[in-house]
Every structure is written in structure tokens, then in C-alpha cells.
Amino acid sequence: MATATEQFIDVDGVPTHYWEEFGGGGHPVVLIHGGGAGADAWGNWADCWKAFSGNFRVIAYDMIGYGTTVVDQEDFVYSQSARIEHLRAFLDAKGIAKASVVGNSMGGATALGLAMRHPERVHTLTLMGSAGLNYHFSPELQTILNYREPDQDGMRRIVDVLTNKNFAPSAEMVQYRYRLTLNEKVMSGYNAAMDWIRDAGGLHFDEREIAGVGVPTLVVSGREDAVVPLDQSVQFHRLIKNSSLYSIPECGHWAMIEHPIEFSEITTRFIREQVSS
């Protein structure tokens, strides 16, 4: 993302950190990272940036409570609704009336929520290993939920459960995510978000709301995803009538990191076809 500009913008009083590049065209594509400990825009999307920015105006922001988008309000509720409304307000602040949104995991649930509640703001929707149908906590999800304080070994375990068994994460990747959790405000927000998910019994929406999504949707799943298993992506595809399903073999929860070229190509093709139709 060396060619992108790194900026902050005020979003309803929250200084929101983001990367942006106008790149290959004016159509805005917003990339939304996942919700594991140490997640942020750069860590999730750096490997895909060149492919997306060669075709679109690309924006990747840190969700509220992640990266360097921190909240000073001690009683802030890190609910899924809060993340959806932060995304809507971010688009308002950027003056973007309508965008294609691409989300991974919690970011997928945030993108999906925008499509359900504010469909007029979404041109296309890409759900990659998306949350939204999670009603129980698998051992892999428990590994993520149980990261309560900065811990290098704990971060390695998170990266292991998020990727396929043949993926070899670099030491730099693990260290980068670990360092982000050293920020007390980020760690406090992360624990509050995970507590909210525990109390809610998972990160899920009413299936009738999901079935009401009418925007063109691409559902992408890693075949070996243990956090959001393939059958949940199949269910998204079944529920959303105007959707396509694409599954990547030898891929866990992080298609954008494990298979960045394949993921970027299929997503770019989908968005370009919908934008030109």
C-alpha cells in the first residue's frame, strides 16, 4: 500500500484512520478488515491493494476500536450496530453516496449490515469468510475470543486458526498484529467487542433480514475455513437470491492473505461486471 495515502477523518467525533488511492477508476471500493485481535486495514489488505487500486478508487479503514481508530468514551458499546453505523457515517464523511463494499469476517458482517439497513449505499457486496450466521463458538472462535491481553504466543495461535495448515505466516505478520494489541485503548475495545459477541450468543443476523438483501453479492469462502465454515457461506448464497458463491481450496479464513491474487481477481471481475452492467 506504498502508493496509498494514509489519513484520518472525523466520523461523528471519532478520528477514523484509513488508506485511500484513486488508482484505476472513480468507482469506490471500501475494504473492511476482520475482527480478530491485532486486525487493521493495512494488515488485512496490503497484499491485495495493488490489484484493487489498479481498477478502482480504493479505501480501507480501521473499524471502530481497531488499528488506530480508537474511542475515548469509556462506556462505548462495541456492538455490531455500532460498527454498521460507523461505516455509514464514514461514507457520509467521505462524501461517498454509494460504494462497493468488501468485508472479511466481522468486516463482512458490517458490510452485510449496511446492505440490509442502507441498501441505497451499496452498489455491490462481497462477503469473504463473513460473520453473520454464527450461533455457536467453535474451538477456533474460542481461541480468538480468549485473547484477553497482549501475548505473542496467543497471537501465533490466532494466526494458526485463521489460516490453512500449509500457510506459513511470517514473523513480521505475527509481530505486527501483536504490536497493535499493546495499545491499551485498542485492547480494551477488543475485549469489549468480544464480550458483546459472547453475550449475544454469536455474531448473527435474522435470516429473514439476510434474505432481504437485493444488491449483487459475491460470497467467497476458504474451503478449509474453520472459523466460518464453508456451509455458512453456502447458506449466505442460499439466502441472498442475487448472489454467486466462490470457494478457494487450501484456504482458511484469510483468502485476501493466503490467496491474494486469486481473491483479488475474482472480486475485481465481479465488481467490474456489475458496475458496467
> Which ranges constitute the DSSP H helices of 138-229?
139-145, 152-162, 171-180, 184-200, 207-211
Q: Are 32 and 109 in contact (CB under 8 A)?
A: no
Q: Which of 40, 47, 62, 225 is catalytic?
A: 225
Active site residue 233: no
Q: Which of 27, 123, 204, 253 is catalytic?
A: 253
Q: Are 82 and 91 in contact (CB under 8 A)?
A: no
Q: Are 79 and 102 in contact (CB under 8 A)?
A: no
Angle between helices 171-180 and 152-162 (to 10 degrees): 120
Q: Where are the beta strands (DSSP E) in the chain?
A: 5-11, 14-21, 28-32, 57-61, 99-104, 122-128, 217-222, 243-248
Q: Which of 53, 100, 105, 264 is catalytic?
A: 105
Active site residue 225: yes
Active site residue 123: no
Q: Are strands 122-128 and 217-222 parallel, antiparallel or unpaired?
A: parallel
Q: Are 23 and 49 in contact (CB under 8 A)?
A: no
Which residues are catalytic, by number?
105, 225, 253
